[in-house]
Every structure is written in structure tokens, then in C-alpha cells.
Chain A
Amino acid sequence: MTWPGFLAAGSAWLFLLLVPLIVFYFLKLKRPRMDIPSLALWRSVLADRRVNSPFQKFKRNLLLLLQLLLLVCLILAAMQPFWPSGAERVKNLPVLIDCSASMAALDKPGGISRLDEAKQRVGQLIDELLPDQRLSLISVSNTARRLTEFTENKRVLRDALEQLKVSQVPSRLEDALRMTQALARTVPVESVLLFTDGNVPSIVDFELPFQLNFQRLPSAGANLGITALNAQLADEKWEIFVRVESTKSAPGAAEVMLFKQGEKIGEESISLEPGQSQRLSFTMEASGPTAVEVRLKPDGFDALDSDNTAYLDLPLARPLTIFCPTELGSYRQALKGIKEVVVYPADEGGDTASSYDLVISDRKEDAELEAGTFVFVGVVPDDVQKLLRIEESAVQVVDWQRSTPLLQHVLLAEVQIADNPISAEGVQDKDYEELGYEILAQARSGPLVLRKDLPGKQMHYILFHTDRSTLPYRVGFPILVTNVIHIAERQAGLSEAVAQPTGVLPPRTLSPEKSYEIIGPDDRRQSARASTVGVLSGVGAPVIGRYSIRDSGQEVASVGVSLLGPSETSLVGIDQLQFREVSVAAAETILKNDRPLWPWFAGMGFGLLLVEWWYFQRRPAGMP
């Protein structure tokens, strides 16, 4: 049998107050005297009442009894009783509340969101907080944010809970758990409470040092949403692809509308079976930089609104500019067969451009050119020269990364190479990696092809000169050149455009070391400073919509971000979280906490006070 406990059992000494109460009651009880002609009738009345009322003695001192009960209730309230839930009571409890986009989903038309449901449960937890318990609220989205310190202040906790809003980003638990782990170093944390709809990655890369109570909220209703939006340039036209998915709970129908610069240019109706997805394509003429918006208008109830709109920024459609010295005839010959490229310098020599999308060169000094993609042939980077040397001897490719964009579909087997890169003694692959290089192709004694990513640039180094190999005579050579073109187009953003997800704005090249103001769709303003090379990055974008990047009030760029999370749109809730060593299943019961009983005793005391007042102030019975 469970007995209530007391948090302040020391207050039991207050029961001693009963003694003076009783003493003072009888000492102070002074009845008003009233002269009456005779006691004859009243004596018989009292004798009759004693016979008929078994509780006469009880009623006789009813005032004392009520006062005793009132004092006992107040003392019990002061002792802070609680009804134990059966679970082990924790003193410091971090509460993780999922605030990802799926938490905004409603359970039914006009219903409440998952976050509101979580707020209600956490609010109940705060209400039942015992005086020696402290909570710390932590919001979980794609990152974690601590809302409160460990505190027992209910007002602070309630304020923080009230201000909690949904971030339109996918959820990740790792950051929140690491933050909790850091908190556990300052205060003892035995258990952590997680409120989520279960729409989180099922595998969590984290080793649990504490007990996790996984409280899964009830599932949301049916939902339709845009999960992918991208475009490809073909024949001076943009082909825009939209993927719409529905949840498994119910079929859905909707209209998909395409807007170009705010003007509707396309519309299609779709009907999806439960759990099905559909890919739609729209075609539009390529012109200058264009802001495209896709809106989904569901026919029926839709649990989540944030995935019904997606934004896409189409770049200016133009030919790829390539610098390739005339000495590299094989490359220039291969480039001639590719459309929509402009090769500098022209065959007859002459003009050059100020910047290029792609530089293919065998001269080290061409690294100074302004371009996004570089392919150096027969050039060893300066920082690599100490790791290897080039010998003139025949060598063949031993292995290469067949899936890397540069060498995709390129067969390097049996290619004869006259330049033999030989790594210095003791140099291993990790030495190249430490310098930021990735080995794409490997000879017996050293690397043949290296790749390095720099801010805004992709550098490819073919350490042997292709003119001193059989590669130009192989079928794979034009494929290699085509791969280079694709890499350059992707780097320059010319051939395709992909809608950006929420979270962080994509890096953007602007003026170096300049501060910009970014205004979000919710009118939230933030400022960021471009790096020394002019890259503006790390700008938070937790809300879908367009972000305006401004310099002194003048808009210099506009970027749209969308939810585009298939997992968020599916609203699928997992029942089990898999950590590195253990798995945690969702709790089957609603979290039980020790219930404080002092409000009940205080309420009973107040009720007794009212009863006492009413009893002694009511109109006497029998009065006309």
C-alpha cells in the first residue's frame, strides 16, 4: 500500500499548536449571559436533544472541532505532503521538448498542435513540481537551446514554456543530448525527459549516460507536403520538378501551383494514395535570376502548413566560360563538342575574360585566375611537393574512385602514364588528407589525381600530364572533360538549382569583410559579416520564406528556404530510439509524477473556514 510522503515533515511540530488552541478555546469561551423567566422549558429541550441526537456532544463543541480541523489542515499543508507516483523521484530533471516542424501538426481540424500537447503535459509537470525538484527546459530542433536553468520557479518555467515556438526545421536529438550531458557535469542528472511526436531520426549517434524517458505524443492527422523542389536547365528552359508526398494515415488530393515572381504560371491537381508520393514537372523559359514559389493547396484537412510552400531561386542562364590554354589541344578539342560553353582564349588568340567558371591549365600561375573550378594538368601543388616527386617512368593507375564526380564513368585501367608520382618515404595517404586533399586516383607509389575544396573553389590536380599518357586517346577522356564541365556548372549554379532547406542559409559570395543585415520572413533581423574571401555563411534560417540580405538598406540578394523534409512531412513517429549501445522505447504510460497534496489540504482548510462562517452566521432554524 502506498502512503503519502512529506517533504517538510519537520513542520509536524506545528501540531503542538493544537494544545494552546484547545486551552485557549475553553479559557476564552465566554457565553453571553441571558436572563430568562424560567429554565423549565429549556431544560426539557436540552434533555430532549441529548436523547434524540447521538452527536450532541460532538455538536456541542462544533466550533472547537472545526477550528481543530482547520488547524490540522493548515499544518498538513505546511508539511507539504505528496502522493508518490511509484517512480523514483528525481531532483534535477532536464525536459527536452521537440520543437521541430512536425510538432506544428494538428491532430484534427481545429485541434491542437503537437507542441501545444507537449506544453500541456509539461505544464502539468510544472504544476505538480515538488519544492525540492528543479526543471530545466530545453528546446530541440535541428539544434538545441536551453530555455531555463535548473529552477523550481514555476513562473519562470511557465514563461519559458509559453514562449516556446515551433522551428520549421527537421529535428536532431544529438545536440540536445550533448547539452544535457554537459549540464549533468554541473548538477546530478539521473533521468531526462523527452517530449516528442516521434518524428526524429531513429538512430541517434550518442552514448546515453543517463536514463531517457521517451514520452511520445499522440500522432497527428493526415498531411500532404512538398518534399523536394529542384530545376534543371535544358535547351534554355528550366524544367522544375516538384515532389509531393502524403502521410500513411489517409489519402489526399491537392492543387499544386507554380508562381514566378509572384505570378501564377502553372497549376496541376494531384490525388495521392496513403503514403504515396508524386513527382510533378513544370517548364518555364529561362531568363534572368528568377524567384519561383510552389504552393500546395490541399482539398481537405492538412495537419501541417509549413510544408505546403517551397521556394526556389533560379540563376541567370548563360554559357559556361572556360579558360584553357591553347597548348592543351586535347582538352580544347574535347570542349569543341560541348554546347553552351565559351572557351578562352579563342583559337586565333586574343581576348580573355575577367573571370571564368572553369580553368583547365597546365600552368601553376593560372591558379591566380578568378574561377570556381580549377583542373590542373601536370601540376603539383606547392604544399604537396614536399610529399612526393615526379619521375619519368611508366606507371599505371592502380585504383580510382569511380563514384567521384570527376572520374564518374571514366575507365582508367591500362592507361599508360609517363609521369610517375612517387610519395616520399614514410608519407602515407593521411598526410595528403591532413593537407586537405582527397586522393581520387592512386598509382602504385603515389597519388595520381587530387582534389581540394577551398572556399568558393574546387581544385583538381592531375599530377601527371595527360599529353604524356594514353588518356587522351581513350574513350574515357571526353567523358572526363564532360564531368569537369558538369562540376563547373554545378559549382557555378548554371545547370541546375535546388531549393534550400531551412536551418542555415546557403553560403553566398558577397563583398569581403562587409556586414549585412538579413531580414527573415517573420521580420526577424540579424546581421552577419562576410569572410575575408567574401563568403557570407552561418546565417540562421529557422522559418520558411524569403530572406532578404541587405547592405545599408539596399537588397543585394534574396534567398528562399523551405522545409523540404520528407520525414517531417510524413509525420511518422518512431516507437524506439536506437543509441550506440542501448535502445529506448517510447513510454507506454503518461508520465507520472509525485502529486503534491498541500493545495488540497489548503483548500479543505478554506472550505472548513467557510463552513464555520456559514454555520454560525446562518439564520436560526425555527425563526419566523
Chain B
Amino acid sequence: MEITSSQAQFTSLLDNATLSRLERLRLNPRRRLTNRSRGEHHAGKGGTSTEFVDYRDYSPGDDVRYVDWNIFSRLERPFVKLYRHEEEMHVVLLVDASTSMQFDGKFDRARQLAAAFGLMGLMNVERVSAYSCNHQGQEPVFLSPCTGRISRKRLFDFLETIPGGGEFPIEQAVEAVLRRHRGRGIAVVLSDFLTFGDFDRAFNQLFSAGLEIFAVQILAPGELNPEVTGDLRFVDSENGHTLDVSSAGDLLGIYQEHRLALEEELGLACRQRNGRFLSISSRDPLDWVLFDLLRRKGWVR
């Protein structure tokens, strides 16, 4: 699905039909990483919602209002009723806007997915913040945490105006974001993860910050199945470095092995931190990704 510019559309990133379908979806994190502030996500511990969870022995100091008197009258022992606590979850959207993402619709697809994940968060009364990383050494462009349906326009405007280009490595971008971010929840990282650095450290930092990693690797068709042959000089789009390759056609087999190994490594790193990982092509249909793939993978429900 291409980004549309029709005046009737709520946003150019997603059409209205997709938006309406997305509003009915909720993010499905593996862990209940929530904030103290009240929200729509049930906290792991007891709370004050109307949803009963369990009983426990009364301890001195407990609020006597939660004692179940019916039980007490039958057993002559006080038991306290426990209710599920509903807390707010923070959804952090991190969009890799470096030059490497400017190929073959990767950046557009990243913004669309960010809009989709953000919308799901807003529609479920979560706090949603967004970050865009461009140039190394510069602070990320960010959207302050917002919540509620009313923030939709703000989120979409932010995503639509993210500048493209730059050489910010994704692992350093994560560190830069975490320096500013506060709150537990989900970190949706949208990048191609083609970096020379070590993303393990960045994932550890996300995990330590109480953010469940939702990593989406977006690759262009030319990166999934490159059609190269003969002697070539590859030029890195971010730093302009060159690499001479002879008989490139012979290396495609090894290239695929390395690409799949990177994918496997990313997936393993996410799983080890109770996160999720997904690799898609920038040419995969957006509806299929949002309403089929993510559902089947259990990312949304």
C-alpha cells in the first residue's frame, strides 16, 4: 500500500479503511511491562479494577474494605479479595531514518508500520512516543509521549514530517533514545539493522529499561535477492565508503547465508530478551503484514 496524499484521507501514511481496522487491534506484549499510571493494561500485581483475581490471607494494615466478609462469616478467618490492577503501558516507536532506509520504499514502510503501532497504542489509551534517528551526534527528532485518540493527528503529523537521510547507526540511536525516554512498555524498532555495530548492547539497554523489544527488519527486494554480477564497486549510501567486489555473482550464495545469519542473530537476540523479531520486505503488502502476519506471529490481537 502506497502512501496516499488524498485530502479525504486522515493521514497520507495509511488509508482510512486501514485506520479503522487498526483501531480494533491491540498490542500483545509477552510481558506486562506497565507504568504506575492508570491505563488499560492489567498489571501483574493486585490492583483496584473490578476484575477479581484471587484471595489472600489478611495481614495487619490491609485495607479492611477489601476483606470478604462472606468468607469471614463462614470460616471465621479474614481473607482479602485481590483485583487486577490496570496500568498504563508506554509504546516507544523508533524509526530508523538513515540513508540506508531511503532505498526502495523501506523508509515509507517503516513510517507506515510506526503509524500502525502508534495508532494501536493510542486507541488503547497507552502513552505513545516516537523517535527518528538521522545524523550521528545529533539528538533524535522525537514526539513527546502522548495518549488518547486525540493524539492521532499529532502522531501522524510527526511521522509524515520525519526527515530522511543520515548515518546514525541503529544501535547508537537506541542509546540516544534511551537517554531521553522514561517508562516501561514496548519499544518498536523499525530498521534494516544493517549496521557495523553491536546491537546486543542496544537490546540489553532496551531490556533493562523495561521495554519489550518489537524489532522489525525492513529490507528492500534488492537486499533480499540482489541481482549483481561481474566486477563491481559498491558504495555505501551512508558514509560513501567503497568496496570492490570481483565476480559478484559468485558471492550471492554466501551473501544469502550472511543475510539469513543476521536475521537469525537478530531473532535470537530478541527472543533472549523476551522480545519479538520480524523481517519483512519493503514490497510486502501492508495489509498482509498488519492483519495477517502480525496476528499470526502474535504481535497483535
Contacts and interface: CB of A to CB of B under 8 A. Distances in A.
A481 B39 CA distance: 162
Contacts of B229: 620
Nearest to A36: B234
Interface string B239-252: 00111111111111
Contact of A48 (B235, B248, B252, B254): B254
B100 A37 contact: yes
Interface stretch (B20-28, B135-143, B176-184, B188-196): B188-196
Interface residues of B, number: 46
A472 B241 CA distance: 135
B236 interface: yes
Nearest to B241: A39
A36 B201 CA distance: 26
Interface string B179-218: 0000000000000101110000000000000000000000
A32 B244 CA distance: 10
A623 B227 CA distance: 7
Interface string A33-71: 111111111111110110000000001111100000000
B103 interface: yes
Nearest to B256: A622
A29 B244 CA distance: 11
Contacts of B255: 41-42, 45, 622
Given A36-B234, A37-B237, A62-B247, A622 B258 contact: no
Contacts of A32: 230-233
Contacts of A43: 196, 243
Interface in B98-114: 99-103, 106
A37 B253 CA distance: 19
Contacts of A48: 254, 258
B220 interface: yes
A45 B251 contact: yes
Contacts of A582: none
A41 B195 CA distance: 9
Contacts of B196: 40, 43
B160 interface: no
Nearest to A32: B232
Contacts of A61: 246
Contacts of A29: 231
Given A38-B100, A38-B194, A38-B238, A620 B252 contact: yes
A616 interface: yes
Contact of B251 (A31, A35, A46): A46
Contacts of A59: 246-247, 250
A35 B232 CA distance: 10
A601 B3 CA distance: 63
Closest 9 CB pairs of A and B: A620-B249, A622-B252, A38-B194, A37-B100, A31-B233, A622-B253, A39-B236, A620-B229, A40-B194
Interface of B: 99-103, 106, 192, 194-196, 220, 222-223, 225-238, 241-256, 258-259, 262
24 contacts: A29-B231, A31-B232, A31-B233, A32-B230, A33-B233, A35-B237, A36-B103, A36-B222, A36-B223, A36-B237, A37-B101, A37-B238, A38-B192, A40-B194, A40-B195, A41-B259, A41-B262, A44-B258, A620-B228, A620-B229, A620-B252, A622-B249, A623-B252, A624-B225
Given A32-B233, A35-B237, A59-B246, 18 more contacts: A31-B231, A31-B244, A32-B230, A33-B232, A34-B233, A34-B234, A37-B99, A37-B103, A38-B236, A39-B241, A40-B196, A41-B255, A42-B245, A43-B196, A43-B243, A49-B251, A622-B249, A622-B251
